[in-house]
Amino acid sequence: MIQEIENDFECIKIDSSTVTGIIYDNDMQKHEDFTDPEHFENPKRIYNILEHLKKQQLLQNQENRLQIVEKVEEINENLITDVYGQEFLEIAKNKFPRAKKDDPELKVSFFDADTYANEHSFKAAKKSAQSNILAVDKIMAQEWINSFCIVRPPGHHSGFHQNRPTGFCYFNNVVIASKYALQKYSKQIKKIVILDWDIHYGDGTASLVENDKNILYISMHQYDKGIFYPHTGKIENMGKDEGLGYNLNLPFDLMDKDQNLIGRMQNQDYAYLFERIVAPIIKDFKPDLTFISSGLDSCQNDLLGDGELDIDGYAYLTKRVNDITNGRVIVNLEGGYNLDEIPFAAEGVLRGLMNEQLPIHNSINNLTQSQVKERCCPSETVLQTAEQCIENFQKYWTCLNTNKTALEIDGGLDECFDKQKEIKIEIQDKETVTAGFLIDYIAKNVIKSKPEFFVLNDELRPGILVLINDADWEIEGTVDAEINDRDKVCFISTLHGG
C-alpha cells in the first residue's frame, strides 16, 4: 500500500513538472536602430518568431504543457552590478541620454560600430535579463520544468573583456541568472551548465565565468583559425585558476587559408560533437540547472554564419539536453539573423523543450531520435575538431578517455571513425583496392565480425563508402540490394580509391 501511494505521488510530481514557460515582452521590440531599419539585430527577429509560433498554436496557454508570460519587470540593477560592477552599468545606462544631451535631435547612439542605443534600449536590456531571472524562479517554484526566453538584446558577447555593451549585446542574461541562482537557491543549485551553440563564440560569457568551477561553459562555434568573429575561442583556452577545465571550446574551421568556404556545419556535425563530447561531459558534471545560449545564427542561410542546422537539428539538440539533465533547462535567445529561417529554428527549440518525440511536427527529415544517431556522419573537419578537443579535454574529463563513451550509434560507428587513419595507411600500400578487399579488411580489423560478404559493385571510385549490415541476408541468407528499416549502417568513410 505504501509503495502504491509513493507511485501515485511520483505521478503527481511528473504531471506538475511538465510545463514549459515562454517569456517575451513587446517592449524589447522598441530597441531599434532608427538610422538603419535593416540592421542585423532588429525587432523583426523576435516579431517573426512570435508570429510563427502563433500560427503553429504554440503561443497560447495549454494546461500542463505551455504557459506564456507576455510582460516582464525590469531587473534589479544590483543583480547587474553583482556581475559587472557599477561602471559598466553606468555606461550602459547613460550612453544615449548623454549623447542626446549634446544633440537633441539624436535618435540613436553607438557603443561600437554594431551595438546601438536609443531611448528604449536600456529598459529592453533590463527586461531581457529579468526574463532569465523569472525563468529561474518559476522553475525553482516547480511551476515550470523549463523555459524559452525569446528576448533581445542578446547577451553572450557582453563580459569583462569589453567595459561596455558590444557585439549587439548589453547584459549577459545567462551569466547574471546563473550567479543569481547559485546565490538565491544555494541549497538546491550548486552546479550550472551553460551550453552555447550560437555560431559565434560567447567571449563575454567565457570572460565572466572562466574562474568559476561551479559554472561549466561549453561553446560550439565557428572559428576559422581566428578569422571569424570574435576571433577568439580556440580549444586551448579552457578557463583559469579554479575554473581551469570548466571553460570548453569546440571550434570548427569552415574557411581555408584564403577565406574560401570549404563546408558548413550540418545537423549530423552538431549531433556528433554533442554525443561524442558534450553529452558525456554534462552527464559527468551533473548540473542542477542548465542554460542554453541558443543562437539561431547556426541555422541554414544565416546572414552572419555558415551553419546549416534546421528545425530538426535544433529540436534534436534541445531534446537531448533535456534527456541528459534533470530537466531544469532555460533557453535564452542569442543571435540569428535570417528572418525567414529563425522562426523555424525557434520552433524546433520549443518542440524540443516540450519533449516532443522526433520526428517533430513540421519535421523536414522525418527521422526518429535513434535514426539521427544511426545516420550520424560528420565531416572530416568536425572529426578533426573532436579529436583535438578530446586530446585537450580528457585531462580534466576522464569520461572522454575511452572511445566507447557516448556515441550511441548501432554498429559501433564511433569506433570505426577512430580507426579511419589506420585503414587509410593500410590501403595506401596497395596498388589497387577492390571493394571486396576493403570490406574484408574492415570486417576483420574494425567491426570484428565474420568476414563474409557480397559485393554489388567491386569497382571503387572516389566518394563516400558506406557499409551496411543487411538484416535479410544475415537472418534469411537472401541477398537483398534494397535498404530497409532493419538494416544497420556499420561503417562510413571517405574513399579516395587505389
Say whether both 284 and 418 belong to one domain. no
In a domain, 144, yes or no: yes
Say whether both 409 and 322 belong to one domain. no
Say whether both 88 and 28 belong to one domain. yes
What pLDDT is attached to residue 494?
Answer: 54
pLDDT tens per residue, range 53-100: 999 999 988 888 999 999 999 999 999 999 999 999 999 999 999 999
The DSSP code for 159 is S
Kindly report the pTM of this predicted structure: 0.81
pLDDT score of 423 more than 70: no
Beta strands 20-23; 146-149: pairing state = parallel
Say whether both 278 and 342 belong to one domain. yes
Domain extent for 222: 18-383
At 246, list the grid cell. 570548466
Selection from 131, 143, 92 nearest residue 332 by Cα: 131
Peptide bond into 378 cis (omega under 30): no
Query: Distance (Å, rounded) from C-alpha 471 to C-alpha 488?
Result: 8
- Neighbouring-strand partners of residue 69: 23
User: Which among 383, 413, 439 is the end of a domain?
Assistant: 383
Query: Distance (Å, rounded) from C-alpha 257 to C-alpha 95?
Result: 39
Total structural domains in the chain? 2
pLDDT score of 406 more than 50: no
Say whether both 355 and 424 belong to one domain. no
Say whether both 262 and 147 belong to one domain. yes
Cα 40 to chain centroid, rounded: 21
At 148, list the grid cell. 524559452
Selection from 141, 126, 207 nearest residue 173 by Cα: 126
Place of cell 577545465: 245
Q: What is the arithmetic mean of pLDDT over 304-309? A: 97
DSSP H or E segment with residue 194: strand 192-196
Task: Tell me which of 272-276, 303-307, 422-426 is least confident.
Answer: 422-426
At 311, list the grid cell. 528545425
330, 289 contact by CB (below 8 A): yes
Most confident of 141-150, 258-267, 440-449, 459-468: 141-150
Say whether both 39 and 98 belong to one domain. yes
In a domain, 397, yes or no: no
pLDDT tens per residue, range 213-264: 999 999 999 999 999 999 999 999 999 999 999 999 999 999 988 889 989 9
- Phi, psi of 373, deg, nearest 5: -70, -40
Selection from 347, 305, 302 nearest residue 48 by Cα: 347
Query: Distance (Å, rounded) from C-alpha 214 to C-alpha 192?
Result: 6
In a domain, 5, yes or no: no
What pLDDT is attached to residue 215?
Answer: 99
In a domain, 277, yes or no: yes
Selection from 82, 92, 79, 90 nearest residue 136 by Cα: 79
Largest CA distance in the chain: 85
pLDDT tens per residue, range 127-148: 999 999 999 999 999 999 999 9
Say whether both 478 and 377 belong to one domain. no
What pLDDT is attached to residue 5?
Answer: 37
Say whether both 101 and 199 belong to one domain. yes
Say which CATH number the domain at 437 has. Answer: 3.10.20.30
Q: Is 393 helix (H, G, I), strand (E, B) or coil?
A: helix
Residues present in the chain in total: 498
In a domain, 126, yes or no: yes
At 198, list the grid cell. 550560437
pLDDT score of 433 more than 70: no
Render the burial of 347-377: b for 16+ CB within 10 Å, e for the rest. bbbbbbbbbbebbbeebeeebebeebbbbbb
Beta strands 215-222; 192-196: pairing state = parallel
- Neighbouring-strand partners of residue 192: 215, 289
pLDDT tens per residue, range 4-59: 434 443 333 334 469 999 999 999 999 999 999 999 999 999 999 999 999 999 99
pLDDT score of 464 more than 80: no
In a domain, 11, yes or no: no
At 463, list the grid cell. 566518394
In a domain, 427, yes or no: yes
pLDDT score of 397 more than 90: yes
Query: Distance (Å, rounded) from C-alpha 128 to C-alpha 154?
Result: 8
Query: Distance (Å, rounded) from C-alpha 292 to C-alpha 165?
Result: 21
Say whether both 359 and 473 belong to one domain. no
Q: Is 403 helix (H, G, I), strand (E, B) or coil?
A: coil
What pLDDT is attached to residue 290?
Answer: 99
Task: Tell me which of 180-194, 348-362, 365-379 is least confident.
Answer: 365-379
What pLDDT is attached to residue 256?
Answer: 85
**311 compared with 163, residue with greater pLDDT:** 311
In a domain, 395, yes or no: no
pLDDT tens per residue, range 279-302: 999 999 999 999 999 999 999 999
Say which CATH number the domain at 341 has. Answer: 3.40.800.20
DSSP H or E segment with residue 273: helix 267-273
What pLDDT is attached to residue 76?
Answer: 99
Sheet strands (E) in 112-180: 116-117, 146-149
Angle at 423 between CA 459 and CA 498, to 5 degrees: 35
Say whether both 149 and 235 belong to one domain. yes
User: Which among 350, 383, 416 is the end of a domain?
Assistant: 383
User: Which among 330, 354, 383 is the end of a domain?
Assistant: 383
Say whether both 165 and 211 belong to one domain. yes
253, 223 contact by CB (below 8 A): yes
Query: Distance (Å, rounded) from C-alpha 29 to C-alpha 165?
Result: 18
Q: Which amino acid is at 391?
A: E
Mean pLDDT computed over every residue of the chain: 86
